[in-house]
Amino acid sequence: MAAGVAVQQASGSQGSSGLPNSGGGSGSGAGDKVNGDNSVEVERGMSRAPKEGKPGTIYEQVDNNGNVMFRTVYGENGKPAYRDDITGRPHYHKSTGRYLDQHRHSYEYNEKGQRVSETILPILKGGN
């Protein structure tokens, strides 16, 4: 099943998943408030984020120098709520005719846990 894709400006302090925005740039995610106790479990690695993770956790894919390239935040269902693409080549988005540098992929799922939509949001310079 193909997911619908939309592009709009990211704003506010919460993503469409209801989880806080972590903003762009590199870092460990410190200061993100995902869990009720203001702590967040962050795992880092050089491989792509797992398709599922512990709800409320973050996986950061890093390069050889430890810079964060992609940040994936897992929602209540253990699936990615959103992924921030922080570094790399800009992606051309056909429907808008624009190149997106830093951007967020926000995902929505149906009651069976199947991804039903994806929204792409540009990340403002300096974070959201």
Each domain of the chain, given as residue ranges in start order, spans 4-122
Amino acid at 33: K
Surface-to-core class of residue 102, CB atoms within 10 Å of its CB (0-12 exposed, 13-18 middle, 19+ buried): buried
User: What's the pLDDT at 94?
Assistant: 75
Q: Determine the Cα–Cα distance for residues 107 and 82; give it in Å rounded to an integer.
A: 6
Please give the backbone phi and psi of residue 34, each rounded to the nearest 5 degrees, phi first: -105, -45
Q: Determine the Cα–Cα distance for residues 84 and 72; give it in Å rounded to an integer.
A: 6
User: What's the pLDDT at 125?
Assistant: 67
User: What's the pLDDT at 38?
Assistant: 66
Tens digits of pLDDT across the chain (128 residues): 333 333 333 333 333 334 444 443 333 333 334 445 667 899 999 999 999 999 999 999 999 999 999 999 999 999 999 999 998 778 887 777 888 888 899 999 999 999 999 988 788 765 44
DSSP state of 3: P
